Amino acid sequence: MTGQGATLRGMNDDTGVSLAKWQKAIRAHGIDPDAVEPNAPQSGTPESPEERADRLALQGAHRAARWTRRLPVMYRDATLADLGPEQHAQAVRDWLPGASSSLVLAGPVGTGKTHAAYAVGNAAVAAGSWVEAWTMADLLAALRPGGDPADLDAVRGCSLLVLDDLGGVKVTDWSQEQFSSLMDHRLRSELRQVVTTNAAYPDLVEAWGDRALDRLRYRWTPLAFTGTSRRLAAW
């Protein structure tokens, strides 16, 4: 596995590597993106520095494959260079290397929020970060009893969580509790998130509760997107 791990580690060091390159390398080395990613050995099991480096490289490859598999086709090539002034291009670009915990992109439908969020995610994956992308509806469905435990581990433990359409679901006591617990865990673990929403802030507080929104506000960067829908203009 050393040669395989060394190749993947080399890609991980290249912060400009494209997602297409990740996919090609993953397939070229016979990695099944749907397979369980390698975990740390059990306590007491020796692991050499080379074995650990190879395991982490393989783990990163699996996570990059998971990102590309979940990435909507229309945002597969989204980059930070695509963003214009109306999408707060400079502020969005500055967020990723900055210290802000949450980037909240709010505004009407079709103003480029989701494109900007996935551009941040693509850049972070290319730089070797563990990034997960979920719509709020899909996330709540995954968190229900009987869901895949790997999904729960991923949304709780990933370095960057892209959470799309926070205001696009019907909120129940259960979903409010789940979201509050998730935000609390990620805050305590010093993990980061990019959140998009069409809802006004007071409406989010009313729906999700001040406790959850208080965690989201911690060291946040809120950006308001305005204008008419770019999809309508294209049509």
Q: Where are the alpha helices (DSSP H) in 14-135?
A: 19-28, 49-70, 89-95, 113-126
Give me the torsion for CA of 11, 17, 20, 21, rounded to 10°. -30
Per-residue pLDDT at 62: 81
Contact partners, residue 114, CB within 8 Å, separation at least 6: 75, 164, 165, 196
Q: Is residue 217 part of a domain?
A: yes
Range of the domain at 211: 77-234
- Residue 41 covered by a domain: no
Q: Domain check: are 133 and 81 in the same one?
A: yes
Structure tokens at 173: 């006591």
Task: Specify the pTM.
Answer: 0.80
Residue 183 domain flag: yes
Closest CA to 175 of 135, 143, 202: 143
* Of the listed ranges 27-36, 173-182, 219-228, the one predicted with least confidence: 27-36
**Residue with token string 């829908």:** 229
Q: What is the CATH number of the domain that holds 157?
A: 3.40.50.300
Confidence of residue 110 (pLDDT cuts 50, 70, 90): confident
Torsion of CA 167, 172, 173, 177, to 10 degrees: -40
Same domain, 103 and 160: yes
pLDDT value of position 136: 92
Q: Could you tell me if 25 and 102 lie in one domain?
A: no
Q: Are residues 82 and 63 in the same domain?
A: no
On whether residue 43 sits in a domain, the answer given is no
> Residues 104, 120: one domain?
yes
Q: HEC string of 124-176?
A: HHHCCCCEEEEEHHHHHHHHCCCCCHHHHHHHHHCCEEEEECCCCCCCCHHHH
User: In terms of pLDDT, which residue wins out, 230 or 201?
Assistant: 201
Q: Residue type at 25?
A: A
Looking at the structure, do residues 91 and 160 belong to the same domain, yes or no?
yes
Give percent of the chain above pLDDT 70: 77
Q: How many domains does the chain have?
A: 2
Q: What one-character-per-residue DSSP string does 214-231 give?
A: HHHHTTEEEEE--SS-HH
pLDDT tens-digit readout, 38-70: 565 666 677 778 877 777 778 788 888 889 888
Q: At what angle do helices 49-70 and 2-12 cross, to 10 degrees?
A: 60
- Say if residue 162 is in the same domain as residue 53: no
**Does 42 reside within a domain?**
no
84/53 same-domain check: no
Q: Between residues 164 and 10, which one has the greater pLDDT?
A: 164
Mean pLDDT of the chain: 83
In-domain check, residue 223: yes
Are 56 and 144 found together in one domain?
no
Same domain (yes/no): 104, 20: no
Question: Which is higher by pLDDT, 5 or 214?
Answer: 214
Which of the four pLDDT bands, split at 50, 70 and 90, describes residue 96? Answer: very high
Same domain, residue pair 214 and 107: yes
Per-residue confidence at 37, pLDDT binned at 50, 70, 90? low
Q: Which helix (H) or strand (E) holds 194?
A: strand 192-197
Residues 129, 209, single domain; the answer is yes
